[in-house]
Amino acid sequence: MAVAAQALNIAQYANMSNNPLIMAVTDSLIDYGNVAQDLPLFNNASLIVNGARWEGNLPTVTWRQLNAEGVSTIGTPSPWQEQAFILTNYIDVDKFLVQDKNQIGNIRANQVEAYLKAQTYDFNFKYFKNDHITGDQNAFVGLRARIDDAASANKWGVRPENKIDANIDISQATLATTPANGNKFLELINQLLWSVDSPQGQNVVLYMNDVMQRRFDFLLRALGTSGGLTITQDQYDRSIMRYKNAIIRDPGLKSDQTTRIIAGNGLSGSSAVGETSAGADSTGASAVYTSIYAVNYGEDHFFGWQFAPLNVEDLGRLNNGTIYRTFIDWAIGLGNASTRSLGRLYDIKIA
């Protein structure tokens, strides 16, 4: 692939940077839960990346008799191409606000912090829900659109089998009367991990919302076992839940700070905000379902690339004399080198 190089995540890029501002901004993105922290990122100064993945058409293996000739064989991989998308913003603050002796804290730092929170909400939402039909064509295509596309055009290299219809009820009431559904659910989670080429969850992140996380924990306790669920801590002393070796992460909320990116509020009736049994976002009595996404990260599965590491510059006071400006710039794209990188388990009833 054109991106063959050592991959690092944004925390590692921050640690390698000699720019304190970049380190502070990158650490803040991680602290706020930006899913970019999960992406292995390659530096590649190109707006287009080309690659190939095996979607069948592997080389034929032949055996021979003694003294017979060997047979030449070759496989035919499927080419793919993706582009980088550019995130650029200026954070401008009037000089009189900067110089005001009554300001609370550092107003420029406060504005940057607010921007980073907004950027995290936006990046996380687009990572899962963006598409180029009804969404933002200036940003990358998200996981749901890539997985949904598998059954038709298969442009993004995802097997149709990786969109799994769970058809299971794990509401609290059902688990109380039908605890066997807990075991059935664990089998489905194992199927999801198998579909992304990692039965033990190595290099995998399982994305689910906070309600589903709590239900997962409830379900396992109802079975009277940890069921492979463990709690560890990351470098920021945050608790990290794992199933087998897979990290469990909640991508959080949209920028309105209310709406869950992965829908499903665990309520029933008119109060329900979630997905239908078909996996579409909805509200009302039919919206009592949710989904779990699985991503296998790595150079040979799903990864990101950046034109260059995240750029943050304090441009100081502009020539107009009235504005202090902070400049943030990042060109980033996504790449999928395997048909077993992305998966979605949907039709999970939680209410």
Contact between residue 336 and residue 145 where contact means Cβ atoms under 8 Å apart: no
Instruction: Note the pLDDT tens digit of each residue in 236-246.
Output: 667 889 999 99
Domain coordinates in residue numbering, the chain: 10-55+77-141+299-336, 164-298+340-349
pLDDT of residue 128: 98
Mean per-residue pLDDT over the chain, rounded: 91
Q: How confident is the model at residue 6 (pLDDT cuts 50, 70, 90)?
A: low
Task: Place 341 in a pLDDT band, splitting at 50, 70 and 90.
Answer: very high
pTM value is 0.91
Beta partners for residue 296, in sequence order? 204
Q: Could you tell me the fold of the domain covering 10-55+77-141+299-336?
A: Major capsid protein gp5 fold (3.30.2400)
Average pLDDT over residues 245-271: 96
Query: Model confidence at 310, in pLDDT bands (50, 70, 90)?
Result: confident
> Could you report the per-residue pLDDT of 52-95, keeping only the tens digit for each?
998 888 999 999 999 999 999 999 999 999 999 999 999 999 99
pLDDT reported for residue 2: 41
93-130 per-position pLDDT tens digit: 999 999 998 888 889 989 988 998 999 999 999 999 99
pLDDT band, residue 3 (cuts 50/70/90): very low
Instruction: Give the end-to-end CA distance of the chain in Å, rounded to a whole number.
Output: 45
Interhelix angle 180-195/210-222, rounded to 10 degrees, is 130
Q: Render 220-281 in DSSP notation, one character per residue.
A: HHHTTS-TTEEEEE-TT--EEEEETTEEEE---B-TTSSSBSS---S--GGG-EEE-TTS-E
For the segment 290-302, the average pLDDT, to the nearest whole number, is 96
> Cβ(28)–Cβ(36) under 8 Å?
no
Residue 4: pLDDT over 50: no
d(CA 184, CA 174): 13
Q: Which residues of 283-311 are buried (b: 16+ CB within 10 A; e: fewer)?
A: eeeebbbbbbbbbbbbbebbbbbbbebbb
**Contact (CB, 8 A) for 128 and 310:** no
- Other beta carbons within 10 angstroms of residue 162's beta carbon come to 22
The pLDDT score that the predictor gives to residue 305 is 92
> What is the per-residue pLDDT for 236?
62
Of 21, 19, 18, 16, the C-alpha closest to 41 is: 16
What is the average pLDDT across 213-236? 80
User: Is the CB of residue 327 less than 8 Å from the CB of residue 315?
Assistant: yes
Residues pairing with 328 in the sheet: 89, 312
pLDDT tens string 148-181: 998 887 899 999 999 999 999 999 999 989 989 9
Does residue 235 surpass a pLDDT of 70? no
Based on the number of CB atoms within 10 Å of its own CB, is 69 exposed (0-12), middle (13-18) or buried (19 or more)? exposed
For position 188, what pLDDT does the model report? 98
